Chains A and B, each alone.
Chain A
Amino acid sequence: MKVPRTRESALFAPRRGDAVTLGPPGPEPVGLGRYGEFGGRFVPETLVPALEELEAEFRTAWASDAFRLEYATLLAQYAGRPTPVTECHRLSERLGVRVFLKREDLTHTGSHKINNVLGQALLTKRMGKQRVIAETGAGQHGVATATACALFGLDCIVFMGAVDVERQALNVFRMQLLGAEVIPVTSGSATLKDAINDALRDWVASVESTHYCIGSVVGPHPFPWIVREFQRIVGDEAREQTREMLGGADPDFVVACVGGGSNAMGTFAGFLETDAELIGVEAAGLGLESGRHGASVSRGVPGALHGARSLYLQDEDGQILEAHSISAGLDYPGVGPEHAALAADGRASYDSATDAEALAGLQELCATEGIMPALEPAHAIGWLMREAGKRVPLGSTVLVTLSGRGDKDAMQVAELLTGETLA
């Protein structure tokens, strides 16, 4: 059946090649960046004026038709939005639930991270700053930032944990090709958390000329708000698209992987007002009981790190613990404050998938659909494979955000599956 495309019928869904239409802005956090009891601005005094400036700039820009048009045009003509929703017929048949994928892997640079950096690059220009710093875990946010900086002629420095520099060598090279300087971070656990530490240390010294393009819904206010708003296009598009495919209904479950939480928050933002069950899938690493995981909502406690009050993995003295995940992008001992709030009030729930389940998810999606996901969203696929027929009743409709493509992980996966390094 061909569904008529009229706005009135609420069945007008974005399609590839369409212009991008931004939905209305979402709610601002309360007070000084509060989501329930989480959020805030726990930063050195030096940074406070820059955060106030950024907040004011974003508020004005996000209400401005000219800014929104410029951003929407970039999303369409440069990033390749709207991205499609793909129904997975063979996987659905295997699992007994109807699976739909929101295809962020098909954006330019291959992950949802581009949505955020294009917006922040426009803000950087508006603030008259020339230098951009960013942290990166998997390298996807670093690549996206380097891309946007090349596009806008900005200087780009990317902080990346030395461990991640090793396991994501391809993305390091991509960033360098794009003109960015990649600085390996050796302090602490030498992963994403430490890359954020060093980016903040740089920013404290360079704040007058530099914008910190943070890569997830983490950090001090206004970052969690800004990044959610720049990612909400994922959920807004997917809602209209799944409504069209489901004859006006919303999916029963909306599932996304959670590192800092930007692809999940962008997805959830589009479905908060629906009846869909929202599920964030964290990295269970070697298993929650092993202590080697990245499940900050499931196993974290309230604390303050990187500028926000949220849930963090920490020891009995309040020292932050190292996270562990097969995927660099989920290897973070915290989560964005809005997720902490959604978990606290029960609007979203958070579960986890292990390294092994993620790897199985990646293989399964390759084999059944010809789509190689990044290891991060492979956690969401792995979770669904485990929970179909259990937590997710047979016959349910499920939207999974496929936040990025797996090319960056090919070498690592090859090693894990074959025990040999590709030449």
Chain B
Amino acid sequence: MTLESSLRAARESGRKLLVPYVTGGLGHGWLNIVRAVADAGADAIEIGIPFSDPVMDGRTIQEASQRALDIGATPAGIIDQLAGADIAVPLAVMTYYNPVHHMGHQRFAQRLAGAGVQAAIVPDLPLDELNGWADAADAAGVETVLLAAPTTSDERLAAICARSRGFVYGIALLGITGERTELAVEAGEMGRRLKAATDLPVLLGLGISNPSQAREAAAHADGVIVGSALIRRLLEGGGSEGAAAFVRELREGLDRDD
């Protein structure tokens, strides 16, 4: 099943979508964290492949990436570990373009497909530079999720929605990843613009930090992506239980009817 069909099915069942982000290779038991997050109510999971120079990431994910690299995480290693992991929900890797470029478009795409990873998100590969990678990804059956930003024009937004696979990632603030005390004003507008432009699942991400913000954001979209708030708990030693507890809270926040 593709990421898109799986998210569409979940949306049709009437629930808001929840996609947590976990840094690959963050501790030797990181796959247990991924499993716990899946079991706690995630609809899909983003697996971060750490890169030395993550320009879209704030302190928390920078630190997680560095810790993972310090204990030897590599793109090939992370993908290969996912191959045998048997995670119950679809997976999308999130990485920067250089590791993809370095392995080679085709080899990277085929490696993902071979490991049963459905999709890839490459935040520094915008629509205009997509071709080489996207062709290889399409050929391998890997869905490439594109990002739209608050600064994106309506015209570009339409083109991004048309080319995105899996879902469309709406950047919910002007800035980089990291927890925020309040949901950014850009979130609602981003969700509304994307929902008006496409029937693809629309997820909002960046800065969404707790169940009430998740709920607030999801009101304007099909669901949310939560990264730094979860990663901080892992960096603080929360482990898979802490991760699962937080994902359950997010799930309840999204599912609560009032």
- Interface residue ranges, A against B (CB under 8 Å): 32, 40-50, 187-188, 193-194, 197, 200-201, 204-208, 301-307, 309, 312, 314, 317-320
Contacts A205-B174, A205-B176, A317-B76 known; A45 to B152 CB distance under 8 Å? yes
**Contact code string B66-101 (vs A, CB < 8 Å = 1, else 0):** 000100001110000000000000000000011111
B98 and A204 form a contact (CB under 8 A):
no
Give the docked Cα–Cα distance between A203 and B69 (Å).
26
A-B contacts, 18 listed (Cβ < 8 Å): A42-B124, A42-B126, A44-B55, A46-B149, A48-B149, A48-B151, A187-B62, A197-B53, A201-B56, A204-B56, A204-B174, A205-B175, A303-B102, A305-B53, A306-B53, A314-B98, A318-B101, A320-B53
Partner of A304, one of B124, B149, B153: B124
Nearest 4 Cβ contacts at the A-B interface = A318-B102, A205-B175, A46-B149, A318-B99
B10 interface contact, C-beta 8 A: no
B interface residues (Cβ-Cβ under 8 A, vs A) = 51-56, 58, 62, 69, 74-76, 97-103, 123-129, 146-153, 156, 160, 171, 174-176
The interface residues of chain A, by DSSP majority, are classed as mixed
Known interface pairs A44-B55, A45-B126, A49-B151; 7 further A-B residue pairs with C-beta atoms within 8 A, sorted by A's residue number: A49-B153, A204-B55, A206-B174, A207-B174, A312-B98, A318-B100, A319-B99
| Chain B residues, Cβ within 8 Å of A303 | 98, 101-102
Instruction: State the Cβ distance, B203 to closest chain A Cβ, in Å.
Output: 15
| Residue from B52, B100, B160 whose CB has the most chain A CB atoms within 10 Å | B52
Q: How many A-B contacts at CB < 8 Å in the complex? A: 114
Q: Which of A44, A50, A317 contacts B147 (CB 8 A)?
A: A44
Name the B residues within 8 Å of A320 (CB-CB).
52-53, 98
How far is the CB of B12 from the nearest CB of chain A, in Å?
A: 28
Q: Are A43 and B124 in contact (CB under 8 A)?
A: yes
CB <8 Å contact, A44 and B124: yes
Q: Tell me the smallest distance from the CB of A308 to a CB of chain B, in Å.
A: 11
Q: Find the B residue at minimum CB distance from A317.
A: B74
**Could you say which residues of chain B place their CB within 8 Å of the CB of A319?**
51-52, 69, 99
Find chain A residues with CB under 8 A from B53 CB: 188, 193-194, 197, 305-306, 320
Are B176 and A32 in contact (CB-based, < 8 A)? no
List residues of chain A with CB within 8 A of the CB of B149: 44-46, 48
CB distance from A187 to the nearest CB of B (A): 6
User: Which A residues lie within 8 Å of B58 (CB)?
Assistant: 201
Q: Which residues of A contact B52 (CB under 8 A)?
A: 188, 319-320
Report if A44-B129 is in contact (Cβ < 8 Å); known contacts: A302-B101, A318-B75, A319-B69.
no
CA distance A326 to B100 in the complex (A): 32
Name the CB-closest residue of A to B51. A319
Whether the Cβ atoms of B75 and A317 lie closer than 8 Å is: yes
B127 CB contacts on chain A under 8 angstroms: 45, 48
